[in-house]
């Protein structure tokens, strides 16, 4: 389930957003100011943040700027919410690194459409779209993984954590992810789980992929972490 953090000091608006997002299947956390928002992000990295511009204390703009300057939160998808319709403010928000911008009041339908668009671009593992790499097809909606076994498409047995891990790797291929990053992005917790846990689940994941001869998709990058590398069919291979 995708995690959305709502940062909004007006409790009526926060409540309304929260109800709409929960109804759409998101796991929602609410923070009333920048400090509470920072504490929530330190605990669990959300898939997306709805960030109100006008907050007591640190503003949404300053908070977004701080997140962009920190390696852990640099890629965090952020949609700014504001009552300001001023073009200059909008530009300042996008310059700071907000991925999108919504001016209040907005409809629930518009909000959900913007959230999905930003997730598609920046956190595709947070969506239910099926992904294909090599001979593997992963469908988050039905929670099914299929692969080619002896020339036939077969469902592969895979545990829930390995499924989430594979989903993340398939939506972010050809990139090296450190164990800490995987804990953050897949487990949602980088502090209380030992990095060794990642190795245990990668081992299980490779075992789950072995009937489809796909274990070697998950590469260990020494001293760095793990990478999913898709096989490239070359004309030279014969």
CB closer to Ca ion, 52 vs 162: 52
Do residues 28 and 8 touch, judged by C-beta distance below 8 A? no
Binding to Ca ion by residue 52, rule CB under 5 A? Answer: yes
Using CA atoms, how far apart are residues 87 and 165, in angstroms rounded to an integer?
41
Residues 109-138 binding Ca ion (CB under 5 A) are none
CA 81, 87, 88, 92 torsion-angle sign: positive
CB closer to Ca ion, 106 vs 153: 106
Residues 173-192 binding Ca ion (CB under 5 A) are none
Question: In whole angstroms, how close is the CB of 13 to Ca ion at the nearest point?
Answer: 8
When CB distances to Ca ion are compared, the closest residue is 54
Using CA atoms, how far apart are residues 163 and 47, in angstroms rounded to an integer?
17
Q: Where are the alpha helices (DSSP H) in the chain?
A: 11-23, 34-43, 60-68, 87-96, 108-122, 160-171, 179-182, 196-209
Convert 38-88 into a string of H (helix), E (strand) and C (coil): HHHHHHCCCCEEEEECCCCCCCHHHHHHHHHCCCCCCCCCEEEEECCCCHH
- Kindly state the number of chain residues that form the binding site for Ca ion, as judged by CB under 5 A: 3
CB closer to Ca ion, 81 vs 136: 81
Question: In whole angstroms, how close is the CB of 198 to Ca ion at the nearest point?
Answer: 38
Question: In whole angstroms, how close is the CB of 23 to Ca ion at the nearest point?
Answer: 23
Q: Measured at the alpha carbon of residue 40, what is the angle toward residues 39 and 41, in degrees to the nearest 5?
A: 90
Question: In whole angstroms, how close is the CB of 122 to Ca ion at the nearest point?
Answer: 24
Do residues 36 and 49 touch, judged by C-beta distance below 8 A? no
Question: In whole angstroms, how close is the CB of 55 to Ca ion at the nearest point?
Answer: 6
Question: In whole angstroms, how close is the CB of 101 to Ca ion at the nearest point?
Answer: 15
CB closer to Ca ion, 47 vs 52: 52
Extract the tokens encoding 185: 């992005």
CB atoms within 10 A of CB 126: 26
CB closer to Ca ion, 80 vs 198: 80
CB closer to Ca ion, 6 vs 205: 6
Residues 1-30 binding Ca ion (CB under 5 A) are 9
Q: What is the contact surface with Ca ion in residues (CB under 5 A)?
A: 9, 52, 54
């Amino acid at each position: 389930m995708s995690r959305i953090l709502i940062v909004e000091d007006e409790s009526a608006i926060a409540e309304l957003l929260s109800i709409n997002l929960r109804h759409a299947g998101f796991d929602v956390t609410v923070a009333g100011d920048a400090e509470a928002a920072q504490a929530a992000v330190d605990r669990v990295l959300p898939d997306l943040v709805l960030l109100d511009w006008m907050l007591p204390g640190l503003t949404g703009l300053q908070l977004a700027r701080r997140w962009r300057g920190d390696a852990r939160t640099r890629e965090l998808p952020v949609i700014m919410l504001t009552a300001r319709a001023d073009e200059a403010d909008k530009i300042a928000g996008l310059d700071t690194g907000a991925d999108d911008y919504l001016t209040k009041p907005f409809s629930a339908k518009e909000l959900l459409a913007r959230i999905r668009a930003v997730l598609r671009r920046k956190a595709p593992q947070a969506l239910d779209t099926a992904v294909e790499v090599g001979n593997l097809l992963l469908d988050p909606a039905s929670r099914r993984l299929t692969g080619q076994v002896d020339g036939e498409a077969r469902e592969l047995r895979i545990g829930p954590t390995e499924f989430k891990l594979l989903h993340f790797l398939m939506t972010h291929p050809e990139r090296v992810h450190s164990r800490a990053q995987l804990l953050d992005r897949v487990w949602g917790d980088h502090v209380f789980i030992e990095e060794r846990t990642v190795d245990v689940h990668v081992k299980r994941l490779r075992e789950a992929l072995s009937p489809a001869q796909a274990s070697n998709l998950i590469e260990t990058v020494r001293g760095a972490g793990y990478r999913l590398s898709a096989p490239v069919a070359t004309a030279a291979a014969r």
